[in-house]
Amino acid sequence: MFYYLFVYQLIKGNIMSNIKVTIVGVGGAGCNTISRLKSKKFTKYNMLAVNTDTQMLETVKSSGVFAIGPILTNGFGSGGNPRIGREAAKESLDQLSTILEGQDLVILTTGLGGGTGTGATPVIASLAKKLGALVIVVATQPFGFEGNLRKQYSDRAVKSILRASDSFIEINNDGLLSMNNDDKSLDESFKQADIALINIVEEITSVIADSGLINIDFADVKNMLTKSGKTFISKSKIDKNQKMDDICLDLKRNLLINYSFKSAKKVLLSIKSSSNFSLNELNLIATKISSFLDQPQNILIGVNNTYHKKNIIEATLIASDLKFTFDEIETPPKSFVFTENNDETYHSKNESVKISPLLNFKKLIKLPIGFN
């Protein structure tokens, strides 16, 4: 029989205040995420946009931008070649190490299938993990219509990301096709993919930041997600007049994630409600969620019953340690091969990294005052 693990703590202020968090957007899709987070005044945490394309970085609405691989690319981008993205990250490893050192949580967002995000993300994730951070990667898969080569690049990157990070959340862009109206523009559809990345970042950080009657803190999340591999996340909001089953079914279905959480070994359930939320309602939700699992597991539950919307129940589910086996994937072109040992070509701290004379250094790295 399953049981709940409750973490009781006194209500306190912002429990994230002493936790150093950096959100890193890698490549075009990742940088778009950073811009949108900034536009939403999501300024509680450090944010860094990383790309090989300095022209694109100039459009990013963030006080922290970093152009990787200036010697390799001259700031002109990766040309859709993941190998260039990977080598660019390696070239700038010392600077990235300085930026990420001392962080408790690093969340990387990216789009897979292209050059910079696909190649650089595993390198940056591996670095952040070696520096002691909990590393979560949130990435979108390419649309099916983008072709087989981009899918091969993406699939290969997934393998490397799973090895390099603690937790990996994979968004299926093709899921947008079933969510969109036929008259929705292409631009709006791609924006929706960016928004999917943003929503997941917000859900992860809000779970940690919320203080409540039954509290989940960073130590709980770190214990759950460290070396957890493929991770499922979903969110639901219902009116209290609806059945509790409705919120559970919503949590079970996430059209943007094409894998199930039924094999999960660890489950976290965070609930926001008003003060009239009952123990019976909590039991109904937790019992239903448990019934979706292959075998009974511990469910870590957090409840914030100070939600200002009286008749609304909002829940976030994070399930990790999923059983996952790699499909056999055709080997991509030789221009893109991840090696098992990515350390062999890293720059040492004693080597000086020359900056290309074609670029202004201010375009290479710009960090806000107080960037932790």
Q: pLDDT band for position 183 (50/70/90)?
A: low
Say how far apart CA 307 and CA 303 lie, in whole Å: 10
Q: Which residues face 370 on adjacent strands?
A: none
Q: Residue 250 has which token pair?
A: 């919503």
Phi/psi at 69 (nearest 5 deg)? Answer: 65, 45
Give tens-digit pLDDT for 133-181.
999 999 999 888 888 999 999 999 999 999 999 999 998 888 777 766 5
Closest CA to 268 of 308, 228, 238, 310: 228
Exposure b/e, 169-205, CB count within 10 A at least 16 = b:
bbbbbebbeeeeeeeeeeeebbebbbebbbebbbbbb
Higher pLDDT, 368 or 315: 315
Give tens-digit pLDDT for 29-69.
999 989 988 887 777 789 999 999 999 999 987 778 999 99
Q: pLDDT band for position 366 (50/70/90)?
A: low
What is the predicted pLDDT for the residue at 182? 64
Task: Kindly state the average pLDDT of the residues 179-190.
Answer: 69
Task: Map out the domains of the chain with their CATH numbers.
Answer: 4-11+228-320 (3.30.1330.20), 21-208 (3.40.50.1440)
Give tens-digit pLDDT for 95-108.
999 999 999 999 99
What is the predicted pLDDT for the residue at 222? 92
Give tens-digit pLDDT for 319-343.
998 876 444 333 333 433 433 333 3
Phi/psi at 35 (nearest 5 deg)? Answer: -60, -45
Higher pLDDT, 200 or 340: 200
Task: Kindly state the average pLDDT of the residues 86-114.
Answer: 96
Q: pLDDT band for position 4 (50/70/90)?
A: very low
Which residue type is seen at 175? G
Say how far apart CA 242 and CA 298 lie, in whole Å: 27
Task: Kindly state the average pLDDT of the residues 222-245.
Answer: 87
Strand (E) or helix (H) holding 71: helix 70-73
Q: What is the number of other CB atoms lying within 10 angstroms of the CB of residue 326?
A: 9
By percentage, how much of the chain surpasses pLDDT 90? 38
Q: pLDDT band for position 12 (50/70/90)?
A: very low
The most confident of the ranges 122-136, 199-213, 337-351 is 122-136
What is the predicted pLDDT for the residue at 161? 96
Task: Kindly state the average pLDDT of the residues 232-242.
Answer: 83
Q: Are 188 and 247 in contact (CB under 8 A)?
A: no
Whose tokens are 């190998």? That residue is: 83
Q: Are strands 266-272 and 312-320 parallel, antiparallel or unpaired?
A: antiparallel
Say how far apart CA 122 and CA 93 lie, in whole Å: 12
What is the predicted pLDDT for the residue at 10? 30
pTM: 0.82
Indicate the average pLDDT of the chain: 79
